[in-house]
Structure 1
Amino acid sequence: MFEVTYQILLLLLCAAFVAGFIDSIAGGGGLITVPVLLLAGANPVEALSTNKVQGIFGSGTAALSYAGRGHVDLRQQARPALLAFAAGIAGALLATVMPTDLLRLGLPVLLVGIALFFALKPGLGDLDRVERLRPAAFAATVVPLIGAYDGLLGPGAGAFYMIAFVTLAGYGILKATAHTKLLNFASNLGGLVAFAVFGAPWWATGIAMGIAQMAGARVGALVAMRIGARVIKPLLVITSTALALRLIWDLI
Structure 2
Amino acid sequence: MELELFTLLMLGGLALLAGFIDTLAGGGGLLTLPGLLLAGLPPVQALATNKLQGTFGSGMATFTLLRLRRFSPAAVRRPFLWALAGSAVGTVVVQVVDTGALEVLVPVVLAVIALYFLLTPGAGRVERAPRLSGALYERTVVPAIGFYDGFFGPGTGSFFSLAEVALRGRELITATAHAKAFNFASNIASLTLFVIGGKVLWLVGATMILGQMLGAWLGAHAVLRGGQRLIRPLIVLMCLAMIARYLYGVAQT
Which stretch shifts more, 116-125 or 9-18?
116-125
Report the 3-state secondary structure (helix = DSSP H, G, I; strand = E; otherwise coil) of the residue aligned with 1:77. helix
Structure 2 equivalent of residue 33 of structure 1: 32
Matches within 5 A, 1:58-97: 58-97=57-96
Paired residues of 1:27 and 1:159 also in contact (CA < 8 A): yes
Question: Which residue identity does 1:31 align to in structure 2?
Answer: L
**Aligned-partner Cα distance in 2 for 1:109–1:26:** 18
**Aligned-partner Cα distance in 1 for 2:34–2:166:** 31
**Aligned-partner Cα distance in 1 for 2:193–2:85:** 10
**Aligned-partner Cα distance in 2 for 1:118–1:32:** 22
Structure 2 equivalent of residue 21 of structure 1: 20
Deviation at 1:233, TM superposition (A): 0.2
Paired residues of 1:3 and 1:202 also in contact (CA < 8 A): no
**Residues 188-218 of structure 1, C-alpha deviations (whole Å, 9 max, x = no match):** 1111112223461212211221121110111
**Aligned-partner Cα distance in 1 for 2:78–2:198:** 27
When the two structures are superposed, what TM-score results if normalisation uses the length of structure 1? Answer: 0.96
Structure 2 equivalent of residue 147 of structure 1: 146
Question: Which residue identity does 1:54 align to in structure 2?
Answer: Q
Question: Which residue identity does 2:202 align to in structure 1?
Answer: W
1:248 pairs with 2:251: no
**Aligned-partner Cα distance in 1 for 2:111–2:94:** 24
1:104 pairs with 2:80: no
* Structure-2 change in CA distance of 1:157 and 1:56 (3 Å): same
* Contiguous gaps of at least 5 residues in structure 1: none
**Aligned-partner Cα distance in 1 for 2:236–2:147:** 23
Number of residues of Structure 1 aligned to a counterpart in Structure 2: 251
**Aligned-partner Cα distance in 2 for 1:61–1:194:** 21
Paired residues of 1:20 and 1:213 also in contact (CA < 8 A): yes
Matches within 5 A, 1:167-246: 167-198=166-197, 200-246=199-245
**Aligned-partner Cα distance in 1 for 2:187–2:76:** 16
Paired residues of 2:124 and 2:169 also in contact (CA < 8 A): no
**Aligned-partner Cα distance in 2 for 1:194–1:33:** 20
**Aligned-partner Cα distance in 1 for 2:84–2:203:** 23
**Aligned-partner Cα distance in 2 for 1:154–1:90:** 13
* Contiguous gaps of at least 5 residues in structure 2: none
When the two structures are superposed, what TM-score results if normalisation uses the length of structure 2? Answer: 0.96
Which stretch shifts more, 186-195 or 14-23?
186-195
**Residues 88-110 of structure 1, C-alpha deviations (whole Å, 9 max, x = no match):** 11111111001010122111111
* Structure-2 change in CA distance of 1:199 and 1:106 (3 Å): farther
Paired residues of 2:124 and 2:165 also in contact (CA < 8 A): no
**Aligned-partner Cα distance in 2 for 1:118–1:25:** 14
Report the 3-state secondary structure (helix = DSSP H, G, I; strand = E; otherwise coil) of the residue aligned with 2:69. coil
**Aligned-partner Cα distance in 1 for 2:106–2:209:** 27
**Aligned-partner Cα distance in 2 for 1:187–1:215:** 21
**Aligned-partner Cα distance in 2 for 1:99–1:64:** 35
